[in-house]
Amino acid sequence: MKAQRVEMFVCPSATPADTSGLQKLADAGKITADTLVALVGKTEGTGAHDDWGRVWADVALREWTARLLGVPVDEVARHVIFVLSGGCPGVITPHIAAVPREWVDVPDGSGGGEKRPVVGRAGPAAIAPEEVGRMGQIHKVAEATRQAMKDAGLTEPRDVHLVMVKVPGLTTGSIKDAESRGKTVVSHDLTFGPEGAGAYANDAAALGVAMALGEVPEASLSDGVVRRNWDLYSEVAMTSSGGEKRHGEVVIFGNSSASRSSLTIGHAVTRDFIDAQGVRNALRAAGLRFKDGLPDEADLQRLVHVFAKSVIPGSDQVRGERITLLDDPDAYQIGKALGGMLVASVTGRTTNYVSGGERNSHQGPPGGNIVAAVVRVG
Amino acid sequence: MKAQRVEMFVCPSATPADTSGLQKLADAGKITADTLVALVGKTEGTGAHDDWGRVWADVALREWTARLLGVPVDEVARHVIFVLSGGCPGVITPHIAAVPREWVDVPDGSGGGEKRPVVGRAGPAAIAPEEVGRMGQIHKVAEATRQAMKDAGLTEPRDVHLVMVKVPGLTTGSIKDAESRGKTVVSHDLTFGPEGAGAYANDAAALGVAMALGEVPEASLSDGVVRRNWDLYSEVAMTSSGGEKRHGEVVIFGNSSASRSSLTIGHAVTRDFIDAQGVRNALRAAGLRFKDGLPDEADLQRLVHVFAKSVIPGSDQVRGERITLLDDPDAYQIGKALGGMLVASVTGRTTNYVSGGERNSHQGPPGGNIVAAVVRVG
Amino acid sequence: MKAQRVEMFVCPSATPADTSGLQKLADAGKITADTLVALVGKTEGTGAHDDWGRVWADVALREWTARLLGVPVDEVARHVIFVLSGGCPGVITPHIAAVPREWVDVPDGSGGGEKRPVVGRAGPAAIAPEEVGRMGQIHKVAEATRQAMKDAGLTEPRDVHLVMVKVPGLTTGSIKDAESRGKTVVSHDLTFGPEGAGAYANDAAALGVAMALGEVPEASLSDGVVRRNWDLYSEVAMTSSGGEKRHGEVVIFGNSSASRSSLTIGHAVTRDFIDAQGVRNALRAAGLRFKDGLPDEADLQRLVHVFAKSVIPGSDQVRGERITLLDDPDAYQIGKALGGMLVASVTGRTTNYVSGGERNSHQGPPGGNIVAAVVRVG
Amino acid sequence: MKAQRVEMFVCPSATPADTSGLQKLADAGKITADTLVALVGKTEGTGAHDDWGRVWADVALREWTARLLGVPVDEVARHVIFVLSGGCPGVITPHIAAVPREWVDVPDGSGGGEKRPVVGRAGPAAIAPEEVGRMGQIHKVAEATRQAMKDAGLTEPRDVHLVMVKVPGLTTGSIKDAESRGKTVVSHDLTFGPEGAGAYANDAAALGVAMALGEVPEASLSDGVVRRNWDLYSEVAMTSSGGEKRHGEVVIFGNSSASRSSLTIGHAVTRDFIDAQGVRNALRAAGLRFKDGLPDEADLQRLVHVFAKSVIPGSDQVRGERITLLDDPDAYQIGKALGGMLVASVTGRTTNYVSGGERNSHQGPPGGNIVAAVVRVG
């Protein structure tokens, strides 16, 4: 019987194109062409859609990975999933987390021990422009989520702690394509604004995950609820969309008793934008030891990584008091920075994955956000 | 014998010109022409130097106060100190804190109980343009600090928990004035940038407080240490400067056993930009009850207000990890927002006074910031 | 027989609340309670929707006007139309233009001379939330435009050179109101983004003007063409919307042989974002003398004012070359600044009314913008 | 006898790393390893100092050039001068201009015809941190300017129309280095703000050019005049500085009767920020035909390129009217965009080199800017 041994290594980046940390991991044999399944990172730059820091990082990381794998650059995507989130405002250290997955032989029936991380992937699955932000996309992401669970060897939704999804958005070109075939699209706004195609794409992806995991009953879903009914949400879906993409991809992190990993993973949600307790709960869920209500300083060295969303709230009220964030032209940038601070003030480090950029989302409860944590065992 | 009874009332502001909260306090007799000594607030707007939200708030609050006091608008400054800090990015609720001080008769020799807040003021003291950011200003602020301590009835520096100082900066006009008299000025840069006159003015003011309170030995001070030797700093000085001003003013908050206030005040510093423990220490110092390492939720209703600086660090490292904040064109805005989050994530509320805008400062230790808290008794 | 004598006085503003220029006009009898019909201005500040510079200006100007008129502040809107456009980035001098209209006795049948400016107003007309951005609003603005033409004594659409329209946008509250009555609204996006309610409101208003003036055949109009068919547009409509408004207002400037004004007005459009010739054409249309292809410097002193839109293009191409404006997070701010430069580089002065903020619009041709100019006679 | 044949090819860039236009030139033999002397371009991105668009462009262009030249990447700088100016706000098309220089045999004494462009280079010359922004740097840039004139075969300063200079700025490291040797530095402010080391470096470089060309008498120069006496300036120097650099480089464009180029070059200055006439004068100086006071549309196809600075004015007045640009947090970005519009509105195209970023400069007269134009002959 084969069992997974999943690892996660976090490399700070000195520049967007810095691959020296990855190279050291490769040199040490910690990641190989056979084991590398995902690169997840925060890249410095504007965080806006013409963020050349992110684009450069993507180019440089793909070139590096192509060399590692010995394949052409345009085939890298078939082997390794890239999730690069642009923008490190405030106290978010630019970094890349490499996720290798090894298959080790274990005696049959040797499972049943403590649950440890496994990773699964699915995709690419084609999504048509007219499906973006609608039930078509929801169904396809749900299906990919189920496949990724299978790839991970996960059967129970409650064992899933983080689902990263990348889906197509819309572009002028893909809208023309759809309309030339007599189809409509969810929005002509190509931004991530409240009625933007990017936001609809992200949110339909989140609902797809929620449907697959049973967080939301299928019967409650329809085109009309996307970005309308905020009571429908996933507690584990972190999604992103790119206009240029035509396919969806999913990478899933869960816990399985069949895993031989030396890590644990857990998640929680914040209930509002200033809820440090939600972050602490994620660390607790991942097995970190606490002392006097706070993470035990000595145990924090076991913390491998934190993944958090920082969607800004749709309301101008936090615990009954007015804030002006929604009126701020830099709301998304500042919202992302605030999420970084909320996590860093709890973990005591700045190397956290915090992505943001939307206002309201089906990723996490209304006003709150998703936090997942990975902790090393022993 | 007369003893002080100091109060503090925090009114959220619906707009920059909103005086309705103050009016309710006046209608209820909680602040009067005889008792109001200071208005300290955060105003919404850009937080930049042409922040019309702050300017409009200043105009509207002075007009309101002139009516309360029955004096012309331009005499208000002689009776009430205004400290309005512009910019509420992120999770900082716009608000005005009104500070009334009443003198009550107490039996002679009745002091000696628990120490409670007193308030003292000094100024206006003229400061010449050539003194700005230099020893001349340091001496004058030190003298004003001593006077304000006297006005407060404070004799021990360790009883001082917050010193708010407003001093002149430089303008094209005041530089011309100085140079026409054969004097030099500290900088021709009128900004709050690292070599800006505004930053020098703020920092010499902080060193003036530090000198008066013995936090820094007088012998260690010279023109050359201002914005150079960061090991010299105050743990209680929050300073601001305005080019248009020609005088310095000081308002001081301390604890005295002669006070009859129903409040307590305390302070602490953060050791770096993500140090939530520093914020918690300030709440502890002010007497808030803790439970399991965190402020007791039930006791948090006794928290009246928090005053915090959010000076951005001069280094690109936080606990050994690189951040990109210093490269961010919006660094001051984001730095202020981050300070607001650090405080709000601990206090569980967004109505906190958090001011920022400089890079490095003699206000607080290198990389860290000052936090003071006021708690209601009983 | 009564004839109009319209004037226009442009007062630079030292601060948003500066009414000193207006007061001088009032002291000199140039504007009176009986004659003032409109205040049109550019206010300094962020130009974003929480622009406290604009809000403060609005408050201060209404208070001043109420005193001039001897009416309560909330009745000012019934007598004087305010068009305040926020944001003076770049080379746009903050200013207020006062428009007084006098009725003078002239002998019957004395018209027929040169056409000179007249002004007409209409409104307020109630517009329901479900009508915003749709045919309902188009019809109401068309009707108000016809009324304003009548009020101005204009019968020929070709004599109309500038129509300023203010209409309601949408708010969370007004959307709830509409939906509670079983109605839908044009967008849930409250911004001025490409699918924002503010943009739809502005554009339906422009189409209303275009319909009334016959610039667009009524048969070509439907809900579906708003912000879709850019070939439908007005060459004279400058429109703005405010969420808080519930009524539409129109002020129209045209030329009439019945006028006794000492001004002339004309307009033109730019064909793209860098088309200085379009600005020159507007000056020519208003009667300014040219020399060697450029406005005659000596004659430029007769130029009273220029009104221009600076809607940013929907394409990333200008004359076949790519620009990155659409990718810029500050696109609207920069687009407004660029419009200000285009006009100032032609007029040789910075006191021009230039308003912007949308991407694509039915105000002016695709990629181009509207420019109107007022010139003094003699 | 050898004569220069200088060419200039402008390639729009689809992305920062787009070298396809250069590759086409190389494939067509228009630029070769032997002829390429300079790449001058505008790169899209933030235009701030952590502009990853510019950095990525620099990396990609150097790699491409190394391949063209057949040398290691770190030797490229010895053969080809790179001047990449970051930020294309507004209507500035990202592009790279390639400058090849060929040496052709001509009969001795065959000069004396019409003057045509020549190019000369000098550097790298080491500049110590303590020299930056001071007389040390001025002298070294003056010397390099003289060498570049010699390399170009230019003897008369009036034949010089454009001098592009790159010099070191300061860094934390280079300041430490200087101070450890008992030296002082011009500023501890590492920005391009009014007292920033970057601005001092740029401006001392401009004065170095001005000294070499006799635009400014050597006797009038001292450390104290840099960024103080704005009456001292060059009309042809465009300078930039980078903290990481340790050497200065100069590339000079002038006219010589010995040249066999099919181009002409000329320059002029704008007298203030809205002076389109200054831009027209530069086109005229370069030999473009005018018609009715404007560039002849038919002749505009001969325009090869325009180089312009857009330094923002130090005053808040333009032709006696107040502007708010200096108060704008985005002043440099907007100022650059405005310069782009001023040029584009005259040239009728957006592919212009417009660099900005400082407030006040010795590059061009107070309030005005330098414009140089290159026109193809025949």
Closest Cα of chain B to A93: distance in Å? Answer: 5
Length of chain A: 378
Q: Which residue's structure tokens are 């109420």?
A: C66
Tokens representing residue A349 in the block: 């480090």
Comparing CB atoms, the residue among C91, C323, C324 nearest residue D323 is C91
Which positions of B are annotated as active-site residues? 166, 240
Chain D hits for C275, Cβ within 8 Å: 345
Q: Which residue of A has its CA nearest to C194?
A: A189
Q: Are B161 and B266 within 8 A, CB to CB?
A: yes
DSSP for D289-337, please give it.
Answer: -EETTEE-TTGGGGEEEEEEEEEEPSSSEETTEE--GGG-TTHHHHHHH
Structure confidence at residue C116 (pLDDT): 96
For the stretch C186-216, pLDDT in tens is 998 888 888 899 999 999 999 999 999 999 9
Q: Calculate ∠ Cα D120-D123-D128, nearest 5°.
A: 150
Which element (helix H / strand E) includes B96? strand B95-105
Strand locations in B317-361 (E): 317-318, 321-322, 353-359
Structure confidence at residue A233 (pLDDT): 98
Tokens representing residue C249 in the block: 């207002």
Angstrom CA distances, B332 to A336, B311, B328, B329, D87, stand at: 15, 8, 9, 8, 22
Chain B hits for D50, Cβ within 8 Å: 324, 327-328
- Residue B46 touches chain C, beta carbons under 8 Å: yes
Comparing CB atoms, the residue among D44, D93, D338 nearest residue C90 is D338
Closest Cα of chain B to C143: distance in Å? Answer: 36
Question: Could you tell me which chains touch chain C, where touching means 3 or more CB pairs under 8 A?
Answer: A, B, D
Question: Could you tell me which chains touch chain D, where touching means 3 or more CB pairs under 8 A?
Answer: A, B, C
- Residue C16 touches chain B, beta carbons under 8 Å: yes
Strand order in the sheet with B353-359: B263-269, B370-376, B303-312, B353-359
- d(CA C272, CA C371) in angstroms, rounded, equals 12
Q: Which residue of D has its CA nearest to A56?
A: D56
Q: Of the listed A13, A187, A240, A261, which one is catalytic?
A: A240
Structure confidence at residue D244 (pLDDT): 74
Structure confidence at residue A254 (pLDDT): 97
Tokens representing residue C376 in the block: 């003094």
Q: Are C309 and C370 within 8 A, CB to CB?
A: yes
Tokens representing residue C203 in the block: 């554009």
Tokens representing residue C236 in the block: 């004279």
**A145 phi and psi angles, rounded to 5 deg:** -65, -45
Q: In which residue ranges of chain B is pLDDT below 70?
A: 110-112
Q: Do A45 and D59 touch (CB under 8 A)?
A: no
For the stretch A317-371, pLDDT in tens is 999 999 999 888 889 999 999 999 999 999 999 999 999 978 999 999 999 999 9
Structure confidence at residue A37 (pLDDT): 97
Tokens representing residue D194 in the block: 């009014």
Chain A hits for D56, Cβ within 8 Å: 16-17, 52, 55-56
Structure confidence at residue B112 (pLDDT): 63
Residue D63 has pLDDT above 70, yes or no: yes
- Residue B315 touches chain D, beta carbons under 8 Å: no
Q: Do A15 and D44 touch (CB under 8 A)?
A: no
Q: Do A338 and B333 touch (CB under 8 A)?
A: no
Q: Pick the more confident residue, C109 or A132.
A: A132
Q: Which residue of A has its CA nearest to D17?
A: A56
- d(CA A293, CA A289) in angstroms, rounded, equals 10
Question: Judging by beta carbons within 10 Å of its beta carbon (0-12, 13-18, 19+), is residue A171 exposed, middle or buried?
Answer: middle
Q: In which residue ranges of chain A is pLDDT below 70?
A: 110-112
Which element (helix H / strand E) includes C318? strand C317-318
Question: Judging by beta carbons within 10 Å of its beta carbon (0-12, 13-18, 19+), is residue A33 exposed, middle or buried?
Answer: middle
> Which A residues, 255 through 274, put their C-beta within 8 Å of a C-beta on chain B?
273-274
Structure confidence at residue D340 (pLDDT): 98
Q: Do B319 and A91 touch (CB under 8 A)?
A: no
Q: Do A48 and C327 touch (CB under 8 A)?
A: yes
Q: Calculate ∠ Cα D67-D70-D72, nearest 5°.
A: 85
> Which A residues, 180 through 199, put their C-beta within 8 Å of a C-beta on chain C?
187-191, 193-196
Question: Could you tell me which chains touch chain B, where touching means 3 or more CB pairs under 8 A?
Answer: A, C, D
Let me know if A166 is a catalytic residue.
Answer: yes
Q: Of the listed C166, C245, C309, C336, which one is catalytic?
A: C166
CB atoms < 10 A from the CB of B109, how many?
A: 7
Comparing CB atoms, the residue among A50, A188, A194 nearest residue C327 is A50
Residue D25 has pLDDT above 90, yes or no: yes
Which element (helix H / strand E) includes C357? strand C353-359
- Residue C326 touches chain A, beta carbons under 8 Å: no
Residue C338 has pLDDT above 70, yes or no: yes
- d(CA C67, CA D248) in angstroms, rounded, equals 64
For the stretch C246-299, pLDDT in tens is 899 999 999 999 899 999 999 999 999 999 999 999 999 999 999 989 999 999
Structure confidence at residue C79 (pLDDT): 94
Tokens representing residue C349 in the block: 């002065």
- d(CA A266, CA A161) in angstroms, rounded, equals 6
- d(CA B86, CA A315) in angstroms, rounded, equals 22
Q: Do A46 and C329 touch (CB under 8 A)?
A: yes
- Residue A314 touches chain C, beta carbons under 8 Å: no
- d(CA A356, CA B341) in angstroms, rounded, equals 16
Q: Calculate ∠ Cα C178-C179-C181, nearest 5°.
A: 70
pTM here is 0.95
- d(CA C179, CA A319) in angstroms, rounded, equals 27
User: What are the residues whose beta carbons fall under 8 Å from the beta carbon of A324, sequence distance 6 or more?
Assistant: A316, B44, B88, B89, B94, C50
For the stretch A34-77, pLDDT in tens is 999 999 999 999 988 778 999 999 999 999 999 999 999 999 99
Chain B hits for C47, Cβ within 8 Å: none
Average pLDDT, chain C: 95
Q: Do B44 and C50 touch (CB under 8 A)?
A: yes
User: What are the residues whose beta carbons fall under 8 Å from the beta carbon of A298, sequence distance 6 or more?
Assistant: none
Q: Pick the more confident residue, B375 or C47.
A: B375
**C13 phi and psi angles, rounded to 5 deg:** -110, 130
Q: Do B59 and C16 touch (CB under 8 A)?
A: no
Structure confidence at residue A220 (pLDDT): 98
Nearest to A231 by CA among A367, A332, A136: A367
DSSP for A133-150, please give it.
Answer: TSHHHHHHHHHHHHHHHH
Q: Pick the more confident residue, D275 or B114.
A: D275
Q: What is the dihedral of CA B358, B361, B367, B372, to 10 degrees?
A: -90
Q: Which residue of A has its CA nearest to D45?
A: A52
- d(CA B126, CA B177) in angstroms, rounded, equals 15
Let me know if A336 is a catalytic residue.
Answer: no
Selected residue of A15, A283, A332, A341 to mutate for chain B interface (largest B Cβ count, 10 A) = A341
Question: Judging by beta carbons within 10 Å of its beta carbon (0-12, 13-18, 19+), is residue B299 exposed, middle or buried?
Answer: middle
User: What are the residues whose beta carbons fall under 8 Å from the beta carbon of C363, sequence distance 6 or more?
Assistant: C202, C203, C206, C233, C234, C237, C238, C239, C309, C311, C369, C370
Selected residue of A273, A290, A347, A350 to mutate for chain B interface (largest B Cβ count, 10 A) = A350
Nearest to C87 by CA among D46, D48, A48, D334: D334
Q: Are D203 and D363 within 8 A, CB to CB?
A: yes
Structure confidence at residue D58 (pLDDT): 95
Question: Judging by beta carbons within 10 Å of its beta carbon (0-12, 13-18, 19+), is residue C366 exposed, middle or buried?
Answer: middle
Name the DSSP class of C18: -
For the stretch D192-240, pLDDT in tens is 888 899 999 999 999 999 999 999 999 999 999 999 999 999 999 999 9
Strands C247-256 and C116-126, bridge-based pairing: antiparallel
**How many percent of chain D have pLDDT more than 90?**
86
Question: Could you tell me which chains touch chain A, where touching means 3 or more CB pairs under 8 A?
Answer: B, C, D
Chain D hits for C90, Cβ within 8 Å: 323, 325, 334-335, 337-338
Positive or negative, the Cα torsion across C318, C324, C325, C326?
A: positive
Structure confidence at residue C252 (pLDDT): 98
Strands A247-256 and A160-168, bridge-based pairing: antiparallel
- pLDDT band at C112; cut points 50, 70, 90: low
Structure confidence at residue D107 (pLDDT): 85
- d(CA B289, CA B375) in angstroms, rounded, equals 10
